[in-house]
Structure 1
Amino acid sequence: MSRILLRVDFNNPYEYRINATLPTIRALLKKGHFVTLITHFEKDGKYPHLDQIARYLKKYFPSLVFIKGEIKKADPLIFSKQSKLFLLDNLRLSKGETSNDIKFARILASWGDFYINEAFAVSHRKHTSLVGLPKLLPHEMGPLFKSEVHNLSKFFKPRHPFLFVLGGKKFETKEPLIKKFLRSADAIFVGGMTGNTFLAYRGIGVGKSFVEKVKIPENILWSPKIFLPEDWESKNEIIYDAGLKTIKSLKGLAVKAKFVLWNGTFGWVEGGYEKGTRDFARALGKSKAFRVIGGGDTVDAIRRYKLEKNFDFISTGGGAMLEFLAKGTLPGIEALKKK
């Protein structure tokens, strides 16, 4: 019997992320271990207490003990009580979390004899709970984390044709991956706000649509592998979604593909402009490719449409997924390699 310190990611959408982690928690409890869960949680740009998370977890684990407030060193007596499952409060409420502080790492380490990282989606961060704790405790990857690495690693040696689909915004976070996949992908579709930026830099009018002030290398901007929206849905000279011609062309590429990797929505889904994203997700159900999707907004949308079955793997990572695909590793992975 051991005390397991389990780093999970219960950030929004927390129901989906908790449900994905339930098998790991149950397996550890079944083996008789004490399990302490640690996570961060952000809501509306703030870091609240985890009462909401605790209530949801108690549906599955009624004996869960939520230790609200400042995270302090573990009292050994707590592990002699009836419950074997504990939830510490929001990691981001402690200043030492984001600064990778050794003092805070020691406080967290007092809650476990063994550390498991099951938080792939945030393992691109150099935070205490991700890179500091493995220095103090024996450690390993959790099964969900291993599944992420296994499935995403398939894109390092993809089957062809390989279609890479990008939406959303923030070209700077996507540039390393575009550079990398220009060598291995057969086609790269760039949509969403990033697509608007590409269109504008190619001299195509996008009205009053938001355009990022970035420098796009010429070999990326004009690459014959890069495909951009052909038409769009707009209002008041602002592009809000990909158009019918664009989705039809994209469907044609997807039907021929053997590998499809998708990150980022095509439109402003929060404002109801989601036809392009939804129609392409439906079309992938007819594709025989190995289909992977990632990114918080994109996965949220797919779950709302109840189209999860159209994908062979759904990554919990957004930024972490992009960084892993670009670099082949993450700070959280490197920390687990060290003994």
Structure 2
Amino acid sequence: MTLRSVKEADVAGKRVLVRVDFNVDVVNGKVVDDFRIRAALPTLELLHKGEAKKIVLLSHLGRPQGRDPQFDLVPVEKHLRELTTVPFELHENLRFDVREEKNDPEFARQLAELGDLYVNDAFADSHREHTSIVGLAALLPSYAGLNLESEVEHLLQALSPSHPALAIIGGAKFETKEPLLQKLLSTYNKVLLGGVLGNDLLKARGLPVGTSLVAGVIAPTSLAGNERLLSPVDLIVVGEGKGGRTSQTGDVRASEKIVDIGPQTAEAWSKEIAGAQFVLWNGPMGVYEAGHTSGTDALATAITNSACRAVIGGGDTIAAIMKHTFDPEKVFLSTGGGAMLQFLIDGTLPGIEILKK
């Protein structure tokens, strides 16, 4: 796949519109996780070095229903100015205009008037056929930013990994994951399932899951019988008003909920990681946001201690990896969650297709 690269663009004296993904957590007016903001810095520095006349950044934040001060990008702008001396303008939250999510031609024309060139550096939003991703790119000379190029390069590697290859899929956003599992099983030696999909697989294999959240995407006859699709062998479960306990699969009580993989599973899967040449990981193994992090943290430790190459995506998964020191030449952290999964299924995204040479 060959994209028109910002490295090839003549930006001198030109106004450059850069679609970035600054959809970050803001608490009490402060950015609490700037991973996606930092990912845009190399492109901004390249444009400044190339003597761009003006750099205008475009992003959304959250899901506002029209104009809403709660979703203002001012805290993001302030944080970015602390990270770089590159001069820039940050456009207001794109989703303050309801036309952004409708790929509206008139809104695209209005945005296009702000610049002479367009750069997409928002990989995490490139699965969406929105105005600033697709419509705007069609109206101006358009290029891939450095972060987007890096994402595509590493995810293409994940579609043709070195073997033995191991995929780990967890989390609770499950709407896209059944076709992903089919794709991974055709490419990877083993696929390990935790989180909601792990619960699904246990249920499909006739094992009790109590009151655990399930997605219902794994039909008992389709994927459940595949021996290369691994489910946990033990679990951390909690009952009503009680602390957690370790349970063997098959021993989960009707009143209990699965909140993490158990220590035996964490140890066994860490050994799988140690024996792999390539690991793809998206999504935590437990209810990470509620503090059930031990399984996810154990696998993160195994990856950072391993010689394997790894591509990792999803906010909680990346948070676990970033607790450790790792070699960025071997471990790639994707800014995309849903976009990463969709790219792995389709091999491209709407926002990438329009940038192809």
TM-score normalised according to structure 1 size: 0.88
Asked if 1:42 is matched to 2:62, the reply is: yes
Partner of 2:29: none
Of residues 200, 215, 219 in structure 2, which corresponds to 1:197?
Answer: 200
- Work out whether 1:10 is the aligned partner of 2:39: no
State whether residues 164 and 260 of structure 1, in contact with CA within 8 Å, keep that contact through their aligned partners in structure 2: yes
Contact 1:161 1:256 in 2 (8 A): yes
For residues 88 and 297 of structure 2, the distance between their equivalents in structure 1, rounded to whole angstroms, comes to 39
Deviation of residue 201 (structure 1)? 1.7
Contact 1:167 1:266 in 2 (8 A): yes
Instruction: State the AA in 1 paired with 2:273.
Output: A
CA-atom RMSD, angstroms?
1.9
Q: Which moved more, 1:206-215 or 1:110-119?
A: 206-215
Residue of 100, 118, 121 corresponding to 1:118: 121
The match for 1:249 is: 268
For residue 170 of structure 1, report the CA deviation from its aligned partner.
Answer: 3.6
Matches of 2:131 and 2:316 in 1, distance apart? 26
Give yes or no for the alignment of 1:273 onto 2:292.
yes
Residue 81 (structure 1) aligns with: none
Superposition map of 1:60-71 within 5 A: 60-61=83-84
Identity %: 43
Please give the alpha-carbon distance, in whole angstroms, between the structure 2 residues aligned to 1:211 and 1:145.
33
Alignment partner for residue 51 of structure 1, among 74, 80, 87?
A: 74
Q: What is the deviation of 1:192? A: 0.6
Contact kept in structure 1, 2:41 and 2:84, CA below 8 Å:
no
Moved more, 131-140 or 284-293: 284-293
Cα deviation for residue 255 of structure 1 reads 1.0
In structure 1, runs of 5+ residues without a counterpart are: 65-83
Would you say the 8 A contact 1:98–1:128 is kept in 2?
A: yes
Q: Which range moved further: 19-28 or 135-144?
A: 19-28
Are residues 253 and 168 of structure 1, via their aligned partners in 2, closer, same or farther at CA, if it must alter by over 3 Å? same
1:115-172: CA deviations, max 9, x gaps? 0000001100000000001110001101111000111101222211110000112433
Structure with the largest fraction of helix: 1
User: Contact 1:281 / 1:307 at 8 angstroms: preserved in 2?
Assistant: no
> Once the 2 structures are TM-superposed, how far is the Cα of residue 309 of structure 1 from its aligned partner?
4.0
**Distance across 1 between alignment mates of 2:272 and 2:307:** 12
Q: Which sections of structure 2, spanning at least 5 residues, go unmatched?
A: 1-12, 26-32, 240-255
Deviation at 1:43? 7.1
Q: Give the direction of change, closer, same or farther, for the CA distance of 1:259–1:215 in structure 2 (3 Å limit).
A: closer
* Deviations 1:71-105, CA, capped at 9 Å, x for gaps: xxxxxxxxxxxxx5211010111111000000000
Paired residues in the alignment total 317
Aligned equivalent of 1:29? 48
Q: Which residue of 1 aligns with 2:169?
A: 166
1:226 is displaced (CA, Å) by 0.4
TM-score, structure 2 normalization? 0.84
Which AA in structure 2 matches 1:321? Answer: M
- Structure 2 Cα separation of the partners of residues 302 and 157 of structure 1: 23
1:139 equivalent in alignment to 2:113: no
Q: Distance in 2 between matches of 1:278 and 1:254?
A: 13
